[in-house]
Amino acid sequence: LLAKNRKHNVWLHASFDVVYDRIKKDTKNQRPLFLNHSKEEFKAIYDGRMALYQGLADLVVTVDNRTPEEVARFIKCM
């Protein structure tokens, strides 16, 4: 999680659809918030957190359609 007292806060932002699909496919790490809410309720939770994350981020990196290696390279160049 991001904390404003740190020097650099990088937010790895993924769209709701990407987050939802990743969590849905991850059968190894079942998340209670995901399992106990409808897609619409989960979207409301996601939307509620976006403003907080944006407010704490020094750098926002959109990770939709990017490999972990691409994301790491991008951050390293900053």
The whole-number pLDDT of residue 2 equals 47
Phi and psi (nearest 5°) for 61?
-120, 115
pTM for this structure? Answer: 0.77
Range 47-58 average pLDDT: 91
Please, what are the domains in the chain?
Answer: 10-77 (3.40.50.300)
Is residue 51 very low, low, confident or very high in pLDDT (cuts 50, 70, 90)? confident
State the chain's mean pLDDT as an integer. 89
Kindly report, residue by residue over 13-42, the tens digit of the pLDDT.
Answer: 999 999 999 999 999 998 998 999 999 999
The whole-number pLDDT of residue 1 equals 47
Whether 2 and 56 have beta carbons less than 8 Å apart is answered as: yes
